[in-house]
């Protein structure tokens, strides 16, 4: 049975962030994810999860100066110390929130840095992070992001990510497969999911164009959800989309597309 997690960065945005946990519960969700927890005390976030009977399934490693446009620093050769300190900080939050997966946004290639140097830096950082997280009982994920939404992002396609998993060669590094980003970058959604399911740690959904609710665009989500069930997907599916209107009023797609 398909299990959905509310992405609190994208859903219920009419509410203050800490109030979105209760809104997710009221809407019928049993799990949540979001970009970053670091703005809030981990004890308060854990209290909100417990109070609403929610499981946290994902958050990201620190990703540099988000407000300034940074989207991760894992491929930045002059910031390896900062990256590794961020891994340690993420672990303290993940343990407090009982969150078993952390996503690494690898970042945009810095000016003046070659693709070869960025790749070597990324591999070294991921090897270190995957090992550290294994010791902490947490899985590490990496996510390809389409180059239309984030120009210059280093990791853009599934096969590039799979090659990176092979090079890092850790049994604690997995792919985060975002259907929206994959559709924009490459298509071939069903075949790619089938080919790489064993290496996928988390799935996220939004439709295209617009990054709105599933069922509002070109992606055949009714087929795709049946396909994932047939493949035996047991994980959560993160709802990382921009509601066209009120979040709660737009949630009918979950029943309509999984019937």
- Hey, what are 89's tokens? 């900080």
Among the listed residues 100, 168, 161, the one whose alpha carbon sits nearest the alpha carbon of residue 134? 100
Longest dimension (CA), the chain: 51
What residues have CB less than 8 Å from 2, skipping those under 6 apart? 225, 228, 229, 233, 237, 258
Which one of the listed residues 14, 143, 167, 188 is annotated catalytic?
A: 143
33 is catalytic: no
| DSSP code of residue 4 | E
Among the listed residues 34, 164, 40, the one whose alpha carbon sits nearest the alpha carbon of residue 99? 34
167 is catalytic: no
Cβ contact 98:55 at 8 Å: yes
What residues have CB less than 8 Å from 60, skipping those under 6 apart? 35, 36, 90, 102, 103, 104, 105
Distance CA 229, CA 2 (A): 7
Distance CA 45, CA 32 (A): 11
Which one of the listed residues 39, 159, 240, 256 is annotated catalytic?
A: 240
Among the listed residues 106, 208, 198, 196, the one whose alpha carbon sits nearest the alpha carbon of residue 158? 196
Please list the active-site residues: 143, 240
């Amino acid at each position: 049975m398909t299990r959905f997690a509310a992405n609190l960065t994208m859903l219920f945005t009419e509410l203050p962030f800490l109030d979105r946990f209760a809104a997710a519960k009221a809407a019928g969700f049993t799990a949540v994810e979001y970009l970053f927890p670091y703005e809030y005390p981990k004890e308060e976030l854990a209290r909100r999860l417990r109070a609403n009977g929610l499981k946290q399934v994902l958050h990201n490693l620190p990703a540099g100066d988000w407000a300034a446009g940074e989207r991760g620093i894992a491929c930045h050769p002059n910031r390896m110390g900062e990256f590794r300190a961020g891994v340690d900080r993420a672990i303290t939050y993940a343990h407090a929130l009982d969150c078993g997966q952390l996503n690494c946004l690898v970042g945009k290639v810095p000016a003046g840095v070659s693709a070869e140097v960025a790749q070597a830096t990324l591999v070294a950082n991921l090897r270190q992070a995957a090992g550290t997280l294994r010791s902490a009982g947490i899985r590490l994920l990496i996510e390809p992001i389409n180059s239309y939404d984030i120009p210059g992002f280093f990791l853009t396609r599934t096969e590039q990510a799979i090659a990176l998993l092979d090079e890092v060669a850790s049994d604690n590094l997995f792919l985060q497969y975002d259907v929206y980003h994959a559709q924009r970058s490459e298509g071939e959604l069903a075949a790619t999911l089938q080919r790489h399911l064993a290496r996928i740690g988390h799935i996220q959904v939004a439709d295209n164009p617009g990054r709105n609710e599933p069922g509002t665009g070109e992606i055949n989500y009714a087929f795709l959800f049946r396909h994932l069930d047939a493949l035996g997907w047991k994980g959560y599916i993160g709802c990382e989309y921009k509601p066209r209107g009120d979040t709660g009023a737009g949630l009918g797609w979950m029943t309509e597309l999984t019937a």
